[in-house]
Amino acid sequence: MKAVPFWIDDYPGPTFPRSPELPRRLDVAVVGGGYTGLSAALALARGGASVAVFERGRIGSGASSVNGGQLCPGLKKAPAELFTRYGEDLGRRLW
């Protein structure tokens, strides 16, 4: 049994450079680099705020990577259903 998701072997995720020092001033500090934290940071930055994301571990190392990335319950379909509905090529990619 493995304690990490099987897809990490093939897709270990991006690495991000660490800032050499903390910013002296920020509009917003986001704690946590999961779906919610990254989405909030992106929306705030697009709105003009200076934002930093603080993550203790690897970005997406919590539920973002262990739940299959399934934010939409519509993607929790059996492989046969995906292949029937979307064809083998797209069905396999979705699965």
pLDDT per residue over 13-35, tens digit each? 666 677 678 888 999 999 998 88
State the pLDDT at residue 79. 84
Domain ranges in the chain? Answer: 6-11+25-94
State the pLDDT at residue 51. 95
DSSP 52: E
State the pLDDT at residue 72. 60
Given CA atoms 36, 37, 40, 46 in this order, what sign does their dihedral have?
A: negative
Span 26-69, pLDDT tens digits: 999 999 988 889 999 999 999 999 999 998 877 776 665 566 55
CA contacts within 13 A on the Cβ side of 8:
13
State the pLDDT at residue 52. 92
3 or 27, higher pLDDT: 27
